[in-house]
Structure 1
Amino acid sequence: MASLVPRHIQDHDSAESLVPYWGYADRVMPCTNDPGSCEYLDVVYGAHAIGMRYMAIIWLTIGGIILVWAMTKHLGRPDSVSTSIAMDGEKGQPVYMRPGGLRKVRHAMASTTRRYLLPDAVRAIFGRTTRFQVFTLCALTAYLTIFTFVGITYNTWITPVKDMDGVYNTRTSLGPWSDRIGVIAYALTPLSVLLASRESILSLLLGVPYQSFNFLHRWTGYLIFVQSALHTIGWCVIEIRLYQPQPKVALGWIVQTYMVWGLVAMLLLTILLLLSTPWGIRLTGYETFRKLHYVLAMVYIGACWGHWAQLKCFLLPALIFWFMDRGARLIRSAFLHYHRLPCGNMGFRSCESTITLFPDSEAGDIVRLDLENDQDAWPVGHHFYLTFTECSIWQSHPFTPLNAPVVRNGKVHHSYILRAKGGETKKVAQLATKKVAAGAKPTTPVILTGPYGEQNMLDVNPSTNIICVAGGTGIAYVLPVLLELARQAISPNRRVELIWAMRHASNTAWVQQELDLLHKVSKALNLKVRLFATRDNTTGSASSNTSIKGDDEKHTDSKEVGGVTTQAVASASSSSADEIGCDCDDVTPVRKTGGADFVDVERHPDLTKLVNDFVNATSSGSTTVFASGPGSMISDLRSIVAQCNDGGKVWAGEERFDVKLVCDDRLEW
């Protein structure tokens, strides 16, 4: 308390009473200073008391938005489906009934919202982020800005310095304003931690995957940095320039304990900011950045506690959220791997995965992992974090199982594909190569954590048309959707399509088994498969159009891969099989869109035409687009899907203009 006396010019020795203030130093009553100083203290304490009420309002607003969103999400889920499905008495098949009333209003509003808020916004500043995310950030920033300035009396007071004739302090409303913005920075800290949690309470309530909050987490951190910097600058101006005599006041102020901790907190926050930039992540590497971020964030919260412990009401929840997140991750892994050991006892056991390697000197080898684990099935589209214990126990990476989750004899099969460009994935590929060279079976133990992802991603009614768009290894995200649809009751009114852009026709070997299953049910599922090889020459070559079967297998220009025939196409006009979307009986052509001089890594088919043709060809029901691939592909699809939406036409009954996009935004991390 002694360190606060010179700062707040209060005489505690003459105090008749101390008035407590939540989050601030006690107020000495009555005020025995000069009238100007007493009036200044009235403004300081009054502004703080109002500011704390504003922080309660901010958190009540956030809580209210979450509550309304959660209620809308759960009340609007398809039991809606149950009310919109009837059974065809003759055929015994589900028939979609057009939505009415509240559902119709909700669909029209959702379509209008997607049209204007789904595309990317100011990519040079925000990256590949939707307008909705940026709009949310702008609304939050505007809301906080209002509370930064209101409820403060703005004035200037010239007050004498005690026992120093002719020396005066300049007291302004910069003091209470700096305090206010510092309090807001503290109040936002638990929100920032909450938005960064993998075991997210927000995801549980809203059904939104945790990675969708990464953008707001990052920019909330930027807001905290700006607020903290302005708070620091404001008090530096006050203590170094406005208070007298100098430099005595400044030197006495800077060595106080609370001020030392404040400088430490500001330094740590600056380091956190620099490390979170693309430049900082490239310099340190993502895994190093992530671990430094965890450690520095916790030390920063501790420094904030040391700077102003009276506001621990905001810091304590932030710490609790962080430890809950870390603890829940460990519990998830423990439940996934708590099995009966070979000795007969129960204990922790990793999963043994089989490695299949597909060499690719051009972009990095492809590794396929297959394993089984004793667990429940996960929702389609969810992903797991994989730790490769033979490489490192300190790193884990997110991957989506490419198979549909089916429980057989208590076990669920997992299949993953990953590109071994560098880091842990490269080590896995090298490990497989070494084991094969040594004559051993290419296997490696894996520890799983998860699953994580959007809740009820595939809760669609029987009339919803599905189009899956994938680029490269993004096929792992959309394949489970198709495989799960194949396991459900057949809907004759639904159209389903797969568009996969790959580098070479031989890439179909990555998912040969899954393509085989889809081929068998393609007619019943009303599924059309369109494959595009963007790096194969348009003239075709034997080496680029075949799957990888083995060293003793001969290469041909046309091969069956998992029930789907990959075929070299000479030109776009040579035959009907060359046309995009050709229905050639049991043959799925791999369209060659590249050339000998092709260098654009992110080139892909004309998605605008493909998606619009699909939507326009639907006879009933809405459309959901599932997508995963390069960032440019996702950005293009956001704009394409946005243009397909039209709330007015949806309201008029043309449901095909209600188009939803579900994409794998883990690629944006």
Structure 2
Amino acid sequence: MVHIQNFTDASSLEPHWGYADRVVPCTNDAGSCKYLDVVYHSHDLGMLYSGIFWATIAGILFIWTLARRLAPSRRADEELLVPVRASSSPSQGGIERLKSALAAHSRRYLLPDFSRPIFGRTTRLQVLTLVVLTGYLAVWSFVGIVYNTWVTPVKKMPGVYNTRTSLGPWSDRVGTLAYALTPLSILLSSRESILSLMTGLPYQSFNFLHRWLGYIIVVQSTLHTIGWTIIEAKLYQPQPTVARDWIKQLYMIWGCVAMILLFLLFALSTPWAIRLTGYEFFRKSHYILAMVYIGACIGHWDKLSCYLVPALVVWFLDRGARLVRTAILHYTVLPGGEVAFGPAKASTTVFSDPNGDVVRLDFVHPHDAWAVGQHFYLCFPESSIWQSHPFTPLSLPIHDDVSCGVQHSYIFRAKGGETKKIAQLAAAKMQQAGGVTPLTSVILTGPFGEEITTHLTQDVNVLCIAGGTGITYVLPVLLGLAYQPRSVKRKVTLVWAVRQKADVAWVQPELDRVRQLAKSIDLTIRIFVTREAEGQSSISEKSKYADHDFKSVSEPIVRSDQTPDSSSAASTSAAYPCCGPPSDSFAIQKTAIPASNPHDEPIHRHPDLSILVKDFIDETVCGRTTVYASGPGRMISELRSIVARSNDGSKVWNADERYDVSLVCDDRLEW
């Protein structure tokens, strides 16, 4: 707007927040003055609307936080002092029943995945939040702008005219909103999340909005760039003089740099780029490019630094808090007596597997206990100090003596990259030491995430479902139940799908403890072997559960990855009708149907989760049900739909709490 105005005849300059000062009074032609009126008024409204946008977000967070403090959900630890409440009835707990009924009703319709090819494995609730946010931004992008066209003469060039339209004010508006969204995008990506403290939601729950908010910023910035390119290279005259003088200005050079960096951020964050370059490269490059991009935005239009500087501050606070927490966690007395930063030393066990070796880490580290469901980022300095991976401890986060530390146990599958290097390093160390269990240096960062068992009062039934190494997420839930008062009403079941019986050895010590719990609570454990045909033996000598201690059922409730013939399907159905788990509370069940021809491969099957969940709910005496799940993305998506169908708000309102079913899953699997 500077080159349009006549500064030589100006009597004063009128400041406008976030924009160039305006010359008053306007001494241009009438059309240009009217156009300037529209431009500055639209910009002022745009700044006001940006403020309203942030005020709306702050108001939502304030109300959410206040509601959590004034009306907190009942916690399991409160039952140590407060008697267990009776089951809901039409005459008792009307407000509580209404809340539960509404929650069940919303889960029925908002929990399943929505449009997986576009949004990935994302719930309808998250997509609905994105739609509301997008619609809200769309309103602020268009409202308050006077849409018109003004044809104005070019000074000292008779017969040459500029075409001034509302494309300019609108392009400024979407550019302003793109700047205003930048701090929110940084907040949504933070691990040391202020949003988590206020809402109680784990920080990974915001990853979906962070990703799609980035896409919105890309679209807004692109439209802003296209709009002003059309104006400067087509509508303003004479050409190409105006376009050439425009693009050579410093603020435009920084604008081009910002757009290049933004497109790089977008391209490198796509799933195909992450698969091609690796997650760690994506993460580190994302950090660097994002910070340089914000700097380029300041260079492009520093008058809107009020949005960009807070974004940088939030990012540096997040990184700084992470480094400080890691330093405090590892600030310890070293063997030599000096106090310094020292990594934990983990004993490493490698379980050979053709699908990728499984590594188990065990160590004790002196620090405060974490909460069930939280995870740590583990870095292995012997391999690389530049990479860290999120892992959930499978051990229960308790200790009797702070000086002795807390027991950490982890398992992960070493398919490739850093995890494969750790498995190879451990195997090499074991070979050099003559079979002695090697020690691996580990640097911890965390814990991150939120506690997932606070709502497990004595009337909540628990169904844990895990696939493969996902067992680490659900085992601490079961172990933690031992520290809650015994409830004769609660039903607890663990369903674990593994490829082979040998996989049970991964968590053998924890399974021993879980089996002890079965004596004090109504606990059923069912392990499904999905890739081992009847009679096939690939059992590790380390597993004492290899061929005994379990009731073996060769034809359980299953679903097929391949469609078997009708006779096979009929025999399966007849062999194990839908009448609940076997009488033994601890059972291994093979799900692979032997091939009719010895030379053919057996049909690999997975347990039918819909039947398992339905049977569990039908067998419960009373009370709500929480399903804890961790495993492959396909399993989580399937469970979301199953749990959604299991909810029935009308039945919950009529005091049948069995149809109030919630799902708690490991969202990190979607990263």
User: TM-score category by the smaller chain?
Assistant: over 0.9
Work out the number of aligned pairs and report it. 646
What's the counterpart of residue 244 of structure 2? 251
What's the counterpart of residue 122 of structure 2? 129
What's the counterpart of residue 509 of structure 2? 513
- Normalising by structure 2, report the TM-score: 0.92
For residue 540 of structure 1, report the CA deviation from its aligned partner. 2.4
Within the alignment, does 1:523 sit opposite 2:519 as a pair? yes
Q: What is the distance in 1 between the residues matched to 2:612 and 2:620? A: 13
Q: What is the distance in 2 between the residues matched to 1:522 and 1:257? A: 71
Which of 412, 420, 424 is matched with 1:418 structurally? 412
Which of 6, 23, 28 is matched with 1:28 structurally? 23
Aligned CA distance change for structure 1 residues 298 and 599 (closer, same or farther; 3 Å): farther
Within the alignment, does 1:435 sit opposite 2:434 as a pair? no
What's the counterpart of residue 66 of structure 1? 61
Instruction: State, as a whole percentage, how many aligned pairs show the same letter.
Output: 57
Q: What is the distance in 2 between the residues matched to 1:492 and 1:636? A: 30
What's the counterpart of residue 94 of structure 2? 101
What does the per-residue CA deviation read over 1:240-282, in whole Å, with 9 as the maximum and x for residues that have no partner?
0000000000000010000111111011111111111111112
Aligned CA distance change for structure 1 residues 480 and 595 (closer, same or farther; 3 Å): farther
Within the alignment, does 1:299 sit opposite 2:292 as a pair? yes
What's the counterpart of residue 562 of structure 2? none
Q: What is the distance in 2 between the residues matched to 1:340 and 1:378? A: 22
Identify the range of structure 1 (343-352 vs 500-509) with the bigger mean alpha-carbon deviation: 343-352
Within the alignment, does 1:364 sit opposite 2:356 as a pair? yes
What's the counterpart of residue 290 of structure 1? 283
What's the counterpart of residue 479 of structure 2? 483
For residue 650 of structure 1, report the CA deviation from its aligned partner. 1.0
Within the alignment, does 1:5 sit opposite 2:2 as a pair? yes
What does the per-residue CA deviation read over 1:183-231, in whole Å, with 9 as the maximum and x for residues that have no partner?
0000000011110111111111111111111110000000000000000
Within the alignment, does 1:454 sit opposite 2:439 as a pair? no
What does the per-residue CA deviation read over 1:20-49, in whole Å, with 9 as the maximum and x for residues that have no partner?
111001111111100100000000000000
What's the counterpart of residue 558 of structure 1? 547
Q: What is the distance in 2 between the residues matched to 1:266 and 1:530? A: 54
For residue 115 of structure 1, report the CA deviation from its aligned partner. 0.6
For residue 338 of structure 1, report the CA deviation from its aligned partner. 1.2
Q: What is the distance in 2 between the residues matched to 1:44 and 1:571? A: 71
Higher relative contact order (CA 8 A, sep 6+): 2
Are the equivalent residues in 1 in contact too, given 2:5–2:23 (CA < 8 A)? yes
What does the per-residue CA deviation read over 1:296-342, in whole Å, with 9 as the maximum and x for residues that have no partner?
00010000000000000000111011101100110111121111222
**Alignment of structure 1 residues 239-638 onto 2, 5 Å:** 239-361=232-354, 363-410=355-402, 411-439=405-433, 441-537=437-533, 539-543=534-538, 546-549=539-542, 558-560=547-549, 565=550, 567=552, 569=554, 582-585=581-584, 587-593=586-592, 595=594, 604-638=606-640
SS at match of 1:12: coil
Aligned CA distance change for structure 1 residues 322 and 304 (closer, same or farther; 3 Å): same
What's the counterpart of residue 159 of structure 1? 152
What's the counterpart of residue 226 of structure 1? 219
Q: What is the distance in 1 between the residues matched to 2:373 and 2:546? A: 34
Are the equivalent residues in 2 in contact too, given 1:557–1:567 (CA < 8 A)? no
RMSD between aligned residues: 2.3
What's the counterpart of residue 649 of structure 1? 651
Q: What is the distance in 1 between the residues matched to 2:14 and 2:572? A: 89
Aligned CA distance change for structure 1 residues 500 and 187 (closer, same or farther; 3 Å): same
Which of 110, 113, 123 is matched with 2:106 structurally? 113
For residue 514 of structure 1, report the CA deviation from its aligned partner. 0.7
Return 5+ residue gaps in structure 1 as ranges.
89-93
| 2:641 counterpart letter in structure 1 | S
SS at match of 1:220: helix
What's the counterpart of residue 568 of structure 2? none
Aligned CA distance change for structure 1 residues 481 and 505 (closer, same or farther; 3 Å): same
Aligned CA distance change for structure 1 residues 217 and 647 (closer, same or farther; 3 Å): same
Are the equivalent residues in 2 in contact too, given 1:646–1:658 (CA < 8 A)? yes
Q: What is the distance in 2 between the residues matched to 1:464 and 1:123? A: 31
Are the equivalent residues in 2 in contact too, given 1:350–1:447 (CA < 8 A)? yes
Are the equivalent residues in 1 in contact too, given 2:76–2:484 (CA < 8 A)? no
| 2:664 counterpart letter in structure 1 | V
For residue 392 of structure 1, report the CA deviation from its aligned partner. 0.5
Aligned CA distance change for structure 1 residues 343 and 486 (closer, same or farther; 3 Å): same
Aligned CA distance change for structure 1 residues 574 and 274 (closer, same or farther; 3 Å): closer
**Alignment of structure 1 residues 27-46 onto 2, 5 Å:** 27-46=22-41
Are the equivalent residues in 1 in contact too, given 2:370–2:397 (CA < 8 A)? yes
Q: What is the distance in 2 between the residues matched to 1:658 and 1:243? A: 63
Identify the range of structure 1 (331-340 vs 253-262) with the bigger mean alpha-carbon deviation: 331-340
Are the equivalent residues in 2 in contact too, given 1:475–1:500 (CA < 8 A)? yes
For residue 97 of structure 1, report the CA deviation from its aligned partner. 4.5
Identify the range of structure 1 (583-592 vs 200-209) with the bigger mean alpha-carbon deviation: 583-592
What does the per-residue CA deviation read over 1:399-454, in whole Å, with 9 as the maximum and x for residues that have no partner?
00001111132110000000000111101110111011101541111000111112
Q: What is the distance in 1 between the residues matched to 2:572 and 2:295? A: 70
Q: What is the distance in 1 between the residues matched to 2:232 and 2:314? A: 35
Q: What is the distance in 2 between the residues matched to 1:102 and 1:111? A: 14
Aligned CA distance change for structure 1 residues 115 and 60 (closer, same or farther; 3 Å): same
Are the equivalent residues in 1 in contact too, given 2:491–2:620 (CA < 8 A)? yes
What's the counterpart of residue 56 of structure 1? 51
Are the equivalent residues in 2 in contact too, given 1:467–1:496 (CA < 8 A)? yes
For residue 490 of structure 1, report the CA deviation from its aligned partner. 1.2
For residue 239 of structure 1, report the CA deviation from its aligned partner. 0.3
Are the equivalent residues in 1 in contact too, given 2:592–2:603 (CA < 8 A)? no
For residue 599 of structure 1, report the CA deviation from its aligned partner. 8.6
Identify the range of structure 1 (9-18 vs 177-186) with the bigger mean alpha-carbon deviation: 9-18
Q: What is the distance in 1 between the residues matched to 2:226 and 2:246? A: 14
Q: What is the distance in 1 between the residues matched to 2:464 and 2:487? A: 17
For residue 295 of structure 1, report the CA deviation from its aligned partner. 0.4
- Normalising by structure 1, report the TM-score: 0.93
Q: What is the distance in 1 between the residues matched to 2:451 and 2:248? A: 52
Q: What is the distance in 2 between the residues matched to 1:117 and 1:262? A: 40
For residue 11 of structure 1, report the CA deviation from its aligned partner. 1.4
For residue 130 of structure 1, report the CA deviation from its aligned partner. 0.2
For residue 576 of structure 1, report the CA deviation from its aligned partner. 12
For residue 459 of structure 1, report the CA deviation from its aligned partner. 2.7
Aligned CA distance change for structure 1 residues 591 and 486 (closer, same or farther; 3 Å): farther
Are the equivalent residues in 1 in contact too, given 2:348–2:438 (CA < 8 A)? yes
Aligned CA distance change for structure 1 residues 422 and 254 (closer, same or farther; 3 Å): same
What does the per-residue CA deviation read over 1:554-603, in whole Å, with 9 as the maximum and x for residues that have no partner?
xx97234xxxx3747378879999778544446523333455666998x5
